[in-house]
Amino acid sequence: MITLDIKDLHAKIGDKEILKGLNLQLEAGKVHAIMGPNGAGKSTLSKAIVGHYDVEITAGDILYKGKSIIEMEAEERALEGIFLSFQHPVEIPGVNNAYFLRTALNAKRKHEGKEELNAAEFLRAMKGHLEALGMKSDMISRSLNEGFSGGEKKRNEILQMLILEPEVIILDEIDSGLDIDALRAVSEGINKMKDGKRTFLVITHYSRILDYIEPDYIHVLKEGKVIKTAGVELVAKLEADGYDGIVEE
């Protein structure tokens, strides 16, 4: 089953067209990796999917479970189950991390017609996730991402993913700035979410993260289009020949 169907997508940031007729289908329960050189449009693609204000879609469509989402607000897309782990999560001084996480979780629960969690119930629900990610409990009492190291920010992104339980998970350069221990903890968190139903889109420059999160498909993005889709064996070819060695299909 196709969860996300991106059809002939054209998108620009400012006056510059970045995506130039991009087609991509993401299957439910599969891990899709998007690789490509700098400036290929990888981050623009992730932003287009989640409805970032920077990106203007000029043509084409994005269908989520068969329904167009390009007119939906960012929060509606999130509530429907689309999640982006940001490459550079913003710091928000003064917003308590636990308060933020509970507000986001309760918005989701409300959307699903479930009871909202009170502070105690929320903290109980968080405990296991914090331990699994190797996060100190004081991290959720601090301001959101303020003063967090690169690794702590990425762990906090994964924590959000774990509690919000989205259906489509986009990981934008999740491995950037992570040391080996942090990479392992983050990958374990992601692998925990693999249940054969959720869809992953892993955006990366390097193959390192793919040693930890095994992809089902590799898509090569170049100059605003997907030029090749293949199995995991494509990674070795990319390592050997680089992006220039890939011929558009």
Partner 1 sequence: MKTPIRLENLRDASLETMAEYFKVDVSNVVLKRLYTLGLPNKKSESYRYFPMESLLSTEYETLDFTPLEVHQKEKIEILDGQVISIPPYVRVYYTHYDDIDMEHYDPMYYLGHLLNPRVIMIEIDGDRSIELIHRFTKPNALIHYRLVIKNQANRHTTLYESFESTNAQGSLVLHGYDMVVAPDSTLRVIKNQNIQNEAYTCVSSHHYKVSRQANLVLQSFDFGNTAALDLFKVELDTYATLDAGHLLYLLGKTRRGIVSQIVHKGEHSSSKQEAKSILEDDARGIFDALIRVEHSAIHSKTVQNSKAVLLGEHCYMISKPQLEIYIDELEASHGATTGQLDSKQLFYLRSRGISEKEAKKMLIIAFANTLIDHIKDARYQEKVQKSFEETFYSHTKEST
- The reply on whether position 126 binds partner 1 by CB under 8 A is no
Please state, in angstroms and rounded to a whole number, the distance separating the CA atoms of residues 106 and 100: 10
Please state, in angstroms and rounded to a whole number, the distance separating the CA atoms of residues 68 and 160: 25
Do residues 92 and 139 lie in contact, with contact meaning Cβ atoms separated by under 8 Å? no
Encoded amino acid at 113, one letter: G
Which parts of 130-189 interact with partner 1 (CB under 8 A)?
143, 160, 164
Please state, in angstroms and rounded to a whole number, the distance separating the CA atoms of residues 140 and 62: 34
Which parts of 63-122 interact with partner 1 (CB under 8 A)?
73-75, 78-79, 83-84, 86, 89-90, 92-95, 99-100, 103-104, 107-108, 111
Please state, in angstroms and rounded to a whole number, the distance separating the CA atoms of residues 63 and 57: 13
Only one residue has tokens 């993913």, namely 161
Which parts of 18-57 interact with partner 1 (CB under 8 A)?
50, 52-53
Q: Please say which residue, 60 or 166, places its beta carbon nearer to partner 1.
A: 166
Residue 107 CB, nearest approach to partner 1 (Å)? 4
Give backbone dihedrals phi and psi of 21, rounded to 5 degrees, phi first: 90, 50
Q: Please say which residue, 66 or 94, places its beta carbon nearer to partner 1.
A: 94
Question: Where do contacts with partner 1 occur on this chain (CB under 8 A)?
Answer: 50, 52-53, 73-75, 78-79, 83-84, 86, 89-90, 92-95, 99-100, 103-104, 107-108, 111, 143, 160, 164
